[in-house]
């Protein structure tokens, strides 16, 4: 392929150890998995399935309906919603010009697509609130580290057309229930960043504070930019010099208008009423531009002291009452939440939650000789269709190998068909635990196998 101008500018950091490791495995580095990406292999999927199932079941119980949207969208969608001043859009988004010259982006979060889908599919005319949930990958070109990937997965819930703080509370309740059921101790962090009206006044005060106290040169480069574009995010900076300044920054709660204050108080009352502990975190502002009013994050409770600066949230969300309107829909209050699957899975692996016991009622079908193999294949299909859990290793010839496989799979019974059984129209049923074998009439194999497996 001819070199393009971009190739010249491309800087891919190569790790010599990784290159050597891959070489030993027989894979050239140019085919290797990209940095920050992850393979989820075999049994790890049991944890994923558990989280996704629990979260989806909870979403459905609370009235959310499933929706799937494309992973590739117009670049403008994210500029307008996630926001041009956010790190996600300004630094981390995977975007490119496609073959038609259209500027597109691979979604860095799910919310904008659901807002678009809500307007584009005429959901404004459906009975409200419209509650939906979606699951899938998101992409952010972040610096990879434990718990931070370039492709990660979210379970995302959104509520459209509900102004009541009950909706905000419902999202927190669902998160609380999910993490309790997964036996993960969490801390709910909550704040209110005001509506368009009261926030404007606050932002003026905050900017003045940082300009006066911050003596701009002491701020990190990101915060210098934030001071111009999105001063609220100064409160979120993890750099020690900037972080120290937030201690004396004016608190947003002092500037909330009556409406924001009332709604926030009601959310806190609901949490108190349901005994859901929370931490009022006045520097929680969230890194996306669309939020208004109540915002929250779910942090894993750390053993020992871990500073907020290296805290990685398991989930986060909040209200975004102006976003639907900004896409051309009629004014529609909305709020939502996204839970990170990778970080949740990493937690449950250490929480010791038992995974659902595998159904051990496995029947293995073994065969010896080609004629028996063909008959065994038919038997396999018959038993499978009747709802029994059958397994096989039809590519194997040796009975010893097949019995080993049956043991590995945890089979309780093995049905053995060999030449003798073919001639006698019988089949052997072997109890894998005791090793006892019984010859039965082939015609009765299904009823005999069912009888034995159900006694396990």
List of residues contacting ligand HAM (CB under 6 A) = 109, 111, 140, 142, 147-149, 152, 154, 156, 158, 288, 313-318, 336-338, 340, 342-343
* Residue closer to ligand HAM (CB basis): 156 or 162: 156
* Residue closer to ligand HAM (CB basis): 87 or 448: 87
CB 63 within 8 A of CB 69: no
* Residue closer to ligand HAM (CB basis): 179 or 442: 179
Q: Which of 239, 203, 204 is nearest to 221 (CA)?
A: 239
Helix boundaries (H) for 182-238? 196-214, 221-229
CB 160 within 8 A of CB 123: yes
Least distance in angstroms from the C-beta of 344 to ligand HAM = 7
Least distance in angstroms from the C-beta of 185 to ligand HAM = 16
Least distance in angstroms from the C-beta of 325 to ligand HAM = 16
H-helix or E-strand spanning residue 456: none
CB 320 within 8 A of CB 80: no
Rounded distance between C-alpha atoms, residue 398 and residue 404, angstroms: 10
Least distance in angstroms from the C-beta of 250 to ligand HAM = 25
Extract the tokens encoding 358. Answer: 């595998």
Least distance in angstroms from the C-beta of 148 to ligand HAM = 5
Least distance in angstroms from the C-beta of 298 to ligand HAM = 7
Least distance in angstroms from the C-beta of 168 to ligand HAM = 10
Least distance in angstroms from the C-beta of 294 to ligand HAM = 11
Give the number of other CB atoms < 10 A from CB of residue 343: 21
* Residue closer to ligand HAM (CB basis): 149 or 202: 149
* Residue closer to ligand HAM (CB basis): 140 or 430: 140
* Residue closer to ligand HAM (CB basis): 256 or 337: 337
Least distance in angstroms from the C-beta of 349 to ligand HAM = 15
* Residue closer to ligand HAM (CB basis): 338 or 429: 338
* Residue closer to ligand HAM (CB basis): 207 or 311: 311
Give the number of other CB atoms < 10 A from CB of residue 127: 7
DSSP string, 400-452: HHHHHHHHHHT-SEEEEE-HHHHHHTEEEEEETTT--EEEEEGGGHHHHHHHH
Question: For the stretch 27-42, what's the b/e string if a residue is b when 16 or more beta carbons lie within 10 angstroms of its beta carbon?
Answer: eeeeeeeeebeeeeee
Using CB positions, name the residue nearest to ligand HAM: 340
Phi-psi region of 390 (alpha: psi -120 to 50; beta: other; left: phi over 0): beta
Cα–Cα distances (Å) from 10 to 7, 13, 99, 260, in that order, read 5, 10, 20, 47
3-state secondary structure of 217: helix
* Residue closer to ligand HAM (CB basis): 129 or 336: 336
3-state secondary structure of 213: helix
CB 76 within 8 A of CB 200: no
């Amino acid at each position: 392929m001819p070199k393009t101008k971009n190739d010249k500018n491309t800087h891919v950091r190569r790790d010599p150890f990784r290159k050597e490791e891959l070489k030993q495995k027989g894979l050239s580095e140019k085919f290797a998995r990209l940095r920050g990406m992850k393979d989820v292999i075999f049994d790890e999927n049991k944890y994923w399935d558990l989280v996704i199932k629990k979260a989806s079941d909870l979403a459905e119980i609370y009235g959310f309906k499933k929706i799937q949207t494309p992973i590739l969208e117009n670049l403008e969608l994210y500029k307008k919603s996630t926001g041009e001043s956010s790190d996600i859009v300004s630094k981390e988004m995977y975007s490119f010009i496609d073959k038609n010259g259209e500027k597109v982006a691979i979604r860095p979060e799910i919310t904008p697509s659901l807002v678009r889908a809500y307007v584009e599919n005429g959901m404004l005319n459906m009975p409200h609130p419209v509650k939906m949930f979606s699951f899938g990958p998101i992409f952010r070109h972040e610096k990879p580290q434990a718990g931070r990937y370039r492709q990660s997965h979210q379970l995302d819930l959104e509520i459209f057309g509900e102004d009541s703080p009950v909706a905000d509370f419902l999202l927190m309740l669902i998160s609380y229930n999910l993490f309790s059921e997964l036996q993960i101790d969490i801390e709910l962090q909550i704040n209110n960043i005001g509506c368009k009206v009261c926030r404007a006044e606050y932002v003026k005060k905050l900017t003045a504070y940082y300009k006066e106290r911050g003596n701009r040169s002491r701020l990190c480069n990101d915060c210098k930019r934030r001071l111009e574009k999105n001063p609220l995010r100064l409160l979120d900076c993890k750099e020690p010099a900037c972080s120290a300044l937030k201690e004396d920054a004016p608190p947003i709660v002092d500037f909330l208008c009556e409406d924001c204050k009332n709604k926030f108080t009601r959310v806190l009352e609901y949490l108190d009423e349901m005994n859901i502990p929370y931490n009022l975190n006045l520097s929680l502002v969230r890194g996306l531009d669309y939020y208004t009013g109540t915002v929250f994050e779910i942090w894993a409770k750390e053993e020992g002291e871990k500073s907020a600066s290296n805290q990685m949230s398991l989930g986060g969300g909040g209200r975004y009452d102006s976003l639907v309107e900004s896409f051309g829909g009629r004014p529609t209050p909305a709020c939502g939440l996204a839970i990170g699957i990778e970080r949740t899975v990493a937690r449950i692996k250490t929480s010791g939650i038992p995974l659902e016991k595998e159904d051990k009622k496995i029947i293995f079908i073994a065969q010896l000789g080609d004629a028996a193999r063909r008959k065994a294949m038919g038997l396999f299909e018959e038993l499978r269709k009747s709802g029994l859990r059958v397994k096989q290793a039809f590519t194997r010839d040796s009975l010893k190998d097949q019995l080993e496989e049956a043991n590995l799979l945890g089979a309780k019974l093995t049905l053995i068909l060999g030449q003798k059984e073919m001639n006698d129209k019988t089949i052997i049923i072997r109890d894998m635990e005791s090793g006892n074998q019984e010859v039965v009439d082939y015609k009765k194999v299904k009823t005999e196998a069912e009888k034995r497996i159900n006694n396990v």
